[in-house]
Amino acid sequence: MTLDDLTAVCGFSCAACKAYIATQNNDREGLARIAAEWTRDLGKTYTPEDILCDGCRAPGGRRVAYCAQCNIRACAMSKGYLTCAHCPACPCGKITQPKAREMLEELKKTLGI
């Protein structure tokens, strides 16, 4: 894993995110499918507009509603860190998803942190 502009604050790759891909391809049908899938799986109603995303760290870019409310992102940004992996306390109790913890630990190793 490398740190690039499409590495989300939580360590995930925006380039691999279905919402990011559909947004960049202007795939309205794909956005509608993702919104329906996330509505079903996450227990909150999402519209295709809620799924539009230019990347978690894109300055002034659109962010998926789910990511815009992410407590990991909010915490790192409030402390001035580019990603959560840059924080000395990472991984902390705010990281509850095993995949996010795995990605952040990998990113820390890559960055030599």
Q: Is residue 6 part of a domain?
A: no
8 inside domain: no
- pTM for the full predicted model: 0.81
* Structural domain boundaries enclosing 71: 14-111
4 belongs to a structural domain: no
Taking all residues of the chain, what is their mean pLDDT, rounded to a whole number? 89
pLDDT at residue 1 in the model:
52
Q: Give domain status of residue 1, yes or no.
A: no
Q: Judge whether 3 lies within some domain.
A: no
Residue 2 lies in a domain: no
Please count the structural domains in the chain: 1
Percent of the chain with pLDDT over 70: 97
Confidence band of 2 (pLDDT split at 50, 70, 90): low
CB–CB of 27/53 below 8 Å?
no
The first and second tokens of residue 54, run together, are 């230019």
pLDDT digits (tens, 9 = 90+) for 40-76: 998 899 999 999 999 888 888 888 887 777 888 899 9
pLDDT number for residue 40:
95
The tokens describing 86, both together, are: 């840059």
The separation between the first and the last C-alpha atoms of the chain, rounded to the nearest angstrom, is 14
Domain annotation covers residue 5: no
